[in-house]
Amino acid sequence: MIFENILLAIGSLRANKMRSLLTMLGIIIGITSVIAIMTVGNSMSASVSDQLSVFGTGNISVYIQEKSEDTGNTPLFMRSATLSESGGIVPDSRSSSKAPDSEDLMTQDMIDAFAEAFRGRIDGVSQARPVADSAQARDGELYANVSVYGVNAAFENANRIELVAGRFINASDVAGNRGVAVVSEKAIQNMFAGETPEGALGRQLKTYANGGINVYTIVGVYKYTRSVLSVSSVAEKDIRTNLYIPVSVAMMDSVEKNFSSVTAVAAKGVNVVSLTSEIENYFRSVYARNEDFGVAANNMESELSAITNALDQISMAIALIAAISLLVGGIGVMNIMLVSVTERTREIGTRKALGARNSHIRLQFVTEAAIIAVIGGVIGIILGVSGGTALVSFLDVPMIIDPLTVFGTIVFSMCIGIFFGYYPANKAAKLNPIDALRYE
């Protein structure tokens, strides 16, 4: 019965191809936008989480900020922000604001006191000091491109460093100013051809940067993961990875002994959001006498949910527009079905003369409306997915298509067809047979 009706419906749609297509247009546009939005939205939030997942959500950025710079609760992503070296996100200061002097920054004593004050509630304070952005680590003729950072032990946790061999920089390396380094698998591959990470432990490397040469002993090798987002055209052997040395060693050559930002790692089970404001409070008294600068803190968890929220809101807004166009599409289906019923009044009369019940006629026209809507929906899905794919590749984020969404969309467009087709179908069903037969 249903199958017969579907064949019948397809037959009558094919008889009016152009009209059917125009009728579907509203639904096509609606479904296309829904699918495209969902694809882009899902892909964007996946990409954001992917980007931020290198940090723990328990990371709290603690950074120097001008006191006049009242940012309220504006999420960071709505301002321009930079990933801090120690493993967090720090907002860029306004171009008008003045740069902090050395004495405005956090001293090592201050940082140690802070770590002490929050002992138990934080798993350490990650510090990083860039030494050389573009350096080369060499072993004879072979080289690896590296960026050199001086870091402390807490850096490992804050940046989710995964070691494949050896250990990370530890507290005694920092205390003893040891000339040790932790490098990436990639650097090992490039620098010691054919060497395993384990075999590289204890070997020495030289770094060439800023005209100086330094020698370090490798104590650890970390896992190299190429970022999903990097589409660099750099050759494998020129890929630049980070090389970590003790922060105290880095400080020896540094004029600036203080820090503009550090990253605290919240201990397990601690409420990150309230810890963040406690940290701000703590530094408020520390910086009470500084007129221009203070310390602000923000956490990844709030940032992540702020971004997700914003994405959700944008999606909602566009979904609303899509819903309106689906409504218009549905009304279009209803309109064309009314025309179709009028055109086929005689046919309806004939069917009734041959014994069709009202329910037969109703089902026939509802099926036809549902088919129009479903075909429109399927076209919409195809266009939406290809449009979404194009947008996603333009935005350079990974593509995510949810099969449940696709299935749901087909069901949904069928419901639109049934809902808006019901009234015309019912009108057809209730026609008086003799009036329908006599219709000119």
Query: Which residues contribute to the site for other proteins (CB under 8 A)?
Result: 4, 8, 11-12, 15, 346-347, 349-360, 433-434, 437
Nearer to other proteins, 11 or 212 (CB): 11
In our burial notation (b when 16+ CB lie closer than 10 A, e otherwise), range 21-52 reads eebbbbbbbbbbbbbbbbbbbbbbbebbeeeb
> CB 50 → other proteins: shortest distance, Å?
54
Q: Which is nearer to other proteins, 48 or 356 (CB)?
A: 356
Closest CB 340 distance from other proteins, rounded Å = 12
- Measuring CA to CA, how many Å separate 343 from each of 12, 209, 336, 354, 361? 12, 84, 10, 19, 14
Our CB check for other proteins shows the closer of 4 and 162 to be: 4
Min dist. Cβ of residue 339 to other proteins (A): 16
**Integer Cα distance of 154 and 107 in angstroms:** 17
- Secondary structure of the chain: what % helix, strand, coil (to 5)? 55, 20, 25
Residue 16: CB minimum distance to other proteins, A: 10
The CB-of-14 to other proteins minimum distance in angstroms stands at 8
Closest CA to 372 of 28, 26, 30, 24: 24
Tell me if 53 sits within 8 A of 403, measured CB to CB: no
Going through 116-203 in order, the beta strands assigned E by DSSP cover 122-126, 128-139, 142-151, 163-166, 180-184
Closer residue to other proteins (CB): 16 or 389: 16
CA-based torsion, 235, 236, 242, 244: positive or negative: negative
Of the pair 396, 435, the CB lying nearest other proteins is at 435
Q: What is the 3-state secondary structure (H, E, C) of 78-98?
A: HCCEEEECCCEEEECCCCCCC
Q: How far is the CB of 354 from other proteins (least distance, A)?
A: 5
Cβ proximity to other proteins, 72 vs 355, nearer residue: 355
Give 1 or 252: the residue with its C-beta nearer to other proteins: 1
Token pair listed for 111? 């940082």
For residue 9, the minimal CB distance to other proteins (Å) is 11
Report the C-alpha gap between 53 and 296 in whole angstroms: 22
Nearer to other proteins, 240 or 351 (CB): 351
Least distance CB 10 / other proteins (angstroms): 11
